[in-house]
Amino acid sequence: MTTAVQTRDLSKSFGVLNAVNRLTVSIERGEVFGFLGPNGAGKTTTIRMLTALIAPSAGTAQVAGFTLGEDDQQIRSRVGILTESPGLYDNLSTERNLAFFGHLYRVPDLSAQVDRYLKLLGLWGRRQDPAATLSRGMRQKLAIARALLHEPEILFLDEPTSGLDPEAARLVREFVADLKQAGRTIFLCTHNLEEADRLCDRVAVFNTRLVAMDTPAALRYQLFGRKVVFHLRAVRPGFEDLVSGYGFVQQVQSVENKLVVTLENPEENNPLLVQALVAAGADIQFLGEIKRSLEDIYLQLLETARLPEVEVNRRISEPAAREENHG
């Protein structure tokens, strides 16, 4: 894998406002990279810098192998961008909207390329209709087609499902998933954290500065560990000591008739604990693992980023309350 986007201390200020503060990230080709943060965090400003629409105040970036500030025209020709509120020419047909932007990008065999994306995104039957007559979901698909028409190396999507009804949002998500399967590099800004969890290889939590970056699974483990709940008929004296004696067990808590066990690699180690407990006379009813959503991770990271170090360590260690049961 080669690097698609590389930034070092990338920053943008508007007067006294630091919109983006010393951002350093590396995004590989073929990766779907989620960029998550609250409103006003600087996500859209970051996209505008990386697509060479505005200049950074400080720092450096390479996009598709070209240097920001030196090769801006090359960068613009190799990226596609879907803004949160894409501007379309309402009086032009769906087909002519794509053709207009295709001419700007000097797309070869433009007619065939327009036809391809109209069909790919389910807009072929509406190709002669003015863009103003399209539903919001169809307009969003038309904007995605426009962003892809020149076959960009990197696609920047800013809130691609914002404001869409569930059916339209599902169609857009499915198309993004198809692009992922095809190996496209995608930089995805979204407030839909379930969507990011499903689509992204890695995510960065950002609030004018980088708070954390890793795979969703790794962030879950770093913040909360893996917790398995052993539901028993009764917790007898000695069960906690028995379980805590295993080296892979990090913590054991007894809650009513349950043992909440924080441990490494539950898939491998759960059977050892089950065997030991049964041998000790435990009646195990079922097991479940406490599952943390990406929303839990996101909120915890944003909260702890604002706290003193001692308080951060305490908050991160607090147990979760969401559980997924397995019979």
- pLDDT of 307 above 70: no
Higher pLDDT, 75 or 311: 75
- 41-70 pLDDT, tens digit per residue, is 999 999 999 999 999 999 999 999 999 999
Residue 82: which pLDDT band, with cuts at 50, 70 and 90? very high
Looking at residue 327, its pLDDT comes to: 39
Residue listed under structure tokens 């406002």: 17
- 250-296 pLDDT, tens digit per residue, is 999 999 999 999 999 999 999 999 999 999 999 999 999 988 899 99
- 111-131 pLDDT, tens digit per residue, is 999 999 999 888 999 999 999
**Residues 206, 36 contacting (CB under 8 angstroms):** yes
- pLDDT of 185 above 60: yes
Looking at residue 291, its pLDDT comes to: 86
- 173-184 pLDDT, tens digit per residue, is 888 888 888 889
Higher pLDDT, 110 or 313: 110
- pLDDT of 1 above 60: no
Please, what is the average pLDDT of the chain?
Answer: 89
Higher pLDDT, 208 or 136: 208
Looking at residue 325, its pLDDT comes to: 45
Cα–Cα distance, 88 to 280 (Å, whole number): 69
Looking at residue 206, its pLDDT comes to: 94
**Residues 261, 252 contacting (CB under 8 angstroms):** yes
Q: Structural domains in the chain?
A: 3-214 (3.40.50.300), 220-326 (3.30.70.100)
Cα–Cα distance, 238 to 261 (Å, whole number): 15
Contacts of 87 (CB under 8 A, 6+ apart): none
- pLDDT of 187 above 50: yes
Cα–Cα distance, 274 to 257 (Å, whole number): 15
Average pLDDT over residues 303-322: 50
- pLDDT of 191 above 80: yes
Quick one: what percent of the chain has pLDDT higher than 70? 93
Looking at residue 316, its pLDDT comes to: 40
Residue 322: which pLDDT band, with cuts at 50, 70 and 90? very low
